[in-house]
Structure 1
Amino acid sequence: MCGVGDFHVGSGLVSMYFRVGLPWLARRVFDGMDYRNVVSWTAMVGGYTESGMFEDAVDVFRAMWVIGGVLPNRIALISVLPAIEFLANLPAGKQVHCFAVRMELSGEVSLNNALVDMYGKCGALWYARRIFNDGNWCKDVISWCSMIQGYGLHGDGEEAVALFDQMRTSGVMPDSMIGLGVLSACSRAGLVFKGLEIYHSLVKDCGVHPTEEMSACIVDLLGRSGLIKHALVFIKSMTVEPGPSVWGALLDASVIHNNKEVQDLACRYLLRLEEGNPSNLVSVSNLHAFEGSWNIVEEVRAKIKQEALKKTPGFSWISPT
């Protein structure tokens, strides 16, 4: 048990136990503290969030001010927002926003970025944009990236593109993360030509080095629009080695448009790149079973059995749409 004067030690122990993967011991120390301040509560909120125990993080955040009578500080607000974002708990997100306004932290960049990101991920783009448009704080690259990714996540490619343009006008140069957000938005919205234009502008005008993820977005953009051959030409022209995300995007497109030749090509490369990944083997097996290619199914299943691999639950390169 921690005495009244030992809350600094107790808070340190709470953080330490979370870091070593012992959240139950962290909670035991916390519950045994005679006095808890904002640092103690924040250690619990942040620990639960970083441990993926998102519901516990939100519950402790509420208990901080409802039961403990302790107002959260900026760090506590930032710590709970990823948990709220993951749970898509918009009412809790609005509570955090209210605290930020009440504590006169609405001009704090890192907190505003976290709020924009949370609202964007929860689909409340109007709230995200209202914070973003507030002229009382200085937006950085992360701010633009969060807003653009929010539009991209919800398929509003045109707004994301209009924003990739305002950003450049404001003097902020895009990086690979912003490029990925805009290209993803274009892919979801089917903006083929605009997506290609943005990709080439990023590479040629902004000096952004194309990552595998950016390249996968282009393959997805072309492939989902039925331009399978163009997607293959793009893959051959890539300056980085095409990885699993690229071939996975091509496989998705070939399944959607029933292109057997490209489908087999993508399968071969995918299996070659991640031969030891059981999910890929099972996905390919199921795909060919659906098409009745039982010789390939037997070959893949024999490989799975030979290597004694087990499927990782809930993962597949094949998208449902």
Structure 2
Amino acid sequence: MTIGFSAAPRPFRIAHKTFRYYASAPGLDPPLCVLRFLQLSIDRQSLKLTEQSHGRVFRLGFDQNAVVATKLISAYSACRDPVEARVVFDSVRCKNVYIWNAMINGYAKNKFYRESFDLFTQMCLGEESPDDFTYSTLSKVSTDIGDFSAGKVVHGKCIRTGLVSDTVVANSILSMYCRCSEFIESRKLFDEMPRRNISSWNTLLGGFMNSEEEKVDSSIIWEFVKTMQIEGLKPDAYTVSSLLPLCGGDAGKWNRGREVHCYTVKNGLELGSGSDVHLGCCLIDMYSRSNKVNVAGLVFDHMKSRNVFAWTALINGYVQNGESEKALILFREMQMRDGTEPNRVSLVCLLPACISLASLMGGKQIHGFAIRKELTHEVSLCNALIDMYAKCGSLTSARRLFEDHPFCKDAVSWSSMISGYGLHGKGQEAIYLYEKMLQLGIKPDVIVMVGVLSACSRSGLVNEGLDIYNSVVRHHGIKPTLEMCACVVDMLGRSGQLKQALDFIKAMAVEPGPSVWGALLSASLLHGNSEIRDLAYEFLIRIEPENASNYVSLSNSYASSQKWGVAAEVRTVMKEKQLRKLPGCSWITVNKETHSFYVADKAHPCSDIIYGMLDELVLMMKGYGNSRE
């Protein structure tokens, strides 16, 4: 069998024929045909077509034509060849502002940021003055490199030239200030703008929403949007998408989210075209966070254009709401019914469903898919796979992926593997890996610390765990969190050091939360210390008065001590508060079928056989215990 190769790829042959047609067609100005051919080169981002057109431009004598030269610079820049674009730029003897802008923008698109500013300096020293496009480009460059000082210089030059009154230029500088988290400067510029459009409002709104350093009160943001409408500007799809993260969750935010959704429907913003897919994804996320995944499904069904992000948003919604089986079904539908190929984020979102169902086989299938699609170099996906293998019981697979796979490990990678060791009771291995991480110069974070402290707690390594805790607080500057403190309390409590655990709680720098008192409660129940048990229950019920689990646990504790009257009083309080605890559930996968079991559940078709086997096991265990005595 022989494989034939054509002389040139078909797009090149078509483009060449197109160029010859335009070059020979009567009545066409030669520069126009050259420009059309160059535009074709830009659209295809083909360096070969660009070089061919460059040669033809030179032979036809259009190399000094300003319009052709500008297009040629843009073509080389689009093909990721700024060096050749600079050759064209330098060859033009009489440069206008468009040629300068094309070269500055070409450098910026190819991340040659210093060269962009150097060229801007040369331009200011020459005869051509920068225009609005120049300053907008350099504002974006300042944003990309996070150089606030450079952005201030651009802003100052805009003020001196009067271009700051241009709305487009002002918006680009406003975006720079917001991205650099300079909110005082951004608000000052916004208030001084003589004309503001919807992009101006959206830019400032996006800056407030995306800030990690300064969290703006949500009421201020809603007032900001109300003021925008008072000034006669209607929120668009971008505005709504920015506001939806503030909605969902508790009842008040959920009602706000419904209002925003109604606004999108009333104003024709909802899911009308492919450009509104992002808005649809934000609505799906909002409803999922409000435990309304069924409504999120309706939003998804009404979307006219769906891509991998929309499918992933709904899959993630099902996983967040504990409907892992539906998430797996939807994942199959995405590929089989819609023909949409999952991406890295889709796989990362789906892996918790495999963990929830304890489906090691499903996790392995996702891993195999990632290998076939060459996605295993993605750090976040590898971290999720390590976590899945460890939680599904295959620590060997998790360790093999961590040690043998050539991906760039971050702190999450180390914490996932350390937590996996802790989950399987291998505290010494977790400590060894933690020390190895420190030797490599990787600074520990709170997640790593919770993983290694939890491993020490499960393995009874109290002294080692306390040494690690004290070391990280003193030498690594990590402030103790509730999670870290709960691990220390659990570690001391499991070993029977209840008094030391209580003293640690009293000396904590942070206010003890439910996790801390819950750890102390478990330890007191384990060692039969009724005094500390009652103290822990008192604080738990005070902190979480609506948590039914606390009351059930307290009632069971009194019942086990044969204090039936007190246990009955606790149950009465639960009825008065209308509190109900969801029954515990466990499951097992046999022959690719998952079986779920609730407490005292007899709904399973084989429940008689199962309970009969359990009775036999109980008798066997009692007999074994008696023989030991």
TM-score (ref. length: structure 1): 0.83
Partner of 1:158: 428
Partner of 1:144: 414
Conserved 8 A contact 2:473-2:479 = yes
Question: Where do 1:111-122 residues align within 5 Å?
Answer: 111-122=381-392
Given candidates 25, 36, 45, the residue that maps to 2:298 is 25
Partner of 2:621: none
Instruction: Give the drift of 1:303.
Output: 4.4
Conserved 8 A contact 2:360-2:389 = yes
Conserved 8 A contact 1:145-1:177 = yes
Conserved 8 A contact 1:42-1:79 = yes
Instruction: Give the drift of 1:39.
Output: 4.8
Instruction: Give the drift of 1:207.
Output: 1.6
Partner of 1:253: 523
Instruction: Give the drift of 1:255.
Output: 1.5
User: For 1:303 and 1:48, how far apart are their aligned partners in 2?
Assistant: 34
Partner of 1:313: 582
1:270 aligns with 2:540: yes
Q: Which moved more, 1:165-174 or 1:77-86?
A: 77-86
Instruction: Give the drift of 1:137.
Output: 2.0
| Secondary structure of the corresponding residue to residue 477 of structure 2 | coil
Conserved 8 A contact 1:254-1:263 = yes
1:97 aligns with 2:367: yes
Matched AA of 1:313: L
Instruction: Give the drift of 1:52.
Output: 3.2
Instruction: Give the drift of 1:60.
Output: 2.4
User: For 1:180 and 1:149, how far apart are their aligned partners in 2?
Assistant: 8
User: Against the structure 1 CA distance between its residues 275 and 81, is the aligned structure 2 distance closer, same or farther, given a 3 Å change threshold?
Assistant: closer
Matched AA of 1:308: K
User: For 2:573 and 2:320, how far apart are their aligned partners in 1?
Assistant: 37
User: For 2:511 and 2:310, how far apart are their aligned partners in 1?
Assistant: 47
User: For 1:15 and 1:36, how far apart are their aligned partners in 2?
Assistant: 13
For the pair shown, which has the larger CA radius of gyration, 1 or 2? 2
User: Against the structure 1 CA distance between its residues 51 and 287, is the aligned structure 2 distance closer, same or farther, given a 3 Å change threshold?
Assistant: closer
Matched AA of 2:283: M
Conserved 8 A contact 2:493-2:501 = yes
Given candidates 292, 295, 308, the residue that maps to 2:562 is 292
Given candidates 502, 509, 529, the residue that maps to 1:239 is 509
Conserved 8 A contact 1:49-1:83 = yes
RCO higher in structure (CA 8 A, sep ≥6): 1
- Unmatched tracts of structure 1, length 5 or more: 316-321
User: For 1:79 and 1:314, how far apart are their aligned partners in 2?
Assistant: 26
Partner of 2:377: 107
User: For 1:70 and 1:276, how far apart are their aligned partners in 2?
Assistant: 44
Partner of 1:72: 342
Instruction: Give the drift of 1:180.
Output: 0.8
| Secondary structure of the corresponding residue to residue 484 of structure 2 | helix
Partner of 2:451: 181
Q: Which moved more, 1:141-150 or 1:257-266?
A: 257-266
User: For 2:544 and 2:306, how far apart are their aligned partners in 1?
Assistant: 49
Q: Percent identity?
A: 50
Instruction: Give the drift of 1:48.
Output: 3.0
Partner of 1:16: 283
- Deviation string 1:249-269 (CA, Å, 9 cap, x unpaired) is 222111211122222222333
| Secondary structure of the corresponding residue to residue 129 of structure 1 | helix
User: For 1:202 and 1:10, how far apart are their aligned partners in 2?
Assistant: 45
Instruction: Give the drift of 1:190.
Output: 1.3
Instruction: Give the drift of 1:168.
Output: 0.8
Q: Which moved more, 1:149-158 or 1:6-15?
A: 6-15
- Deviation string 1:87-128 (CA, Å, 9 cap, x unpaired) is 221112112111222122221112212212222221222222
TM-score (ref. length: structure 2): 0.45
Matched AA of 2:353: A
Instruction: Give the drift of 1:221.
Output: 1.2
Conserved 8 A contact 1:13-1:29 = no
User: For 2:578 and 2:398, how far apart are their aligned partners in 1?
Assistant: 44
Conserved 8 A contact 2:418-2:430 = yes
| Secondary structure of the corresponding residue to residue 194 of structure 1 | helix
Matched AA of 1:16: L
Instruction: Give the drift of 1:184.
Output: 1.0
User: Against the structure 1 CA distance between its residues 42 and 276, is the aligned structure 2 distance closer, same or farther, given a 3 Å change threshold?
Assistant: closer
- Unmatched tracts of structure 2, length 5 or more: 1-271, 585-629
User: Against the structure 1 CA distance between its residues 8 and 309, is the aligned structure 2 distance closer, same or farther, given a 3 Å change threshold?
Assistant: same
Given candidates 29, 45, 53, the residue that maps to 2:315 is 45
Partner of 1:217: 487
Partner of 1:319: none
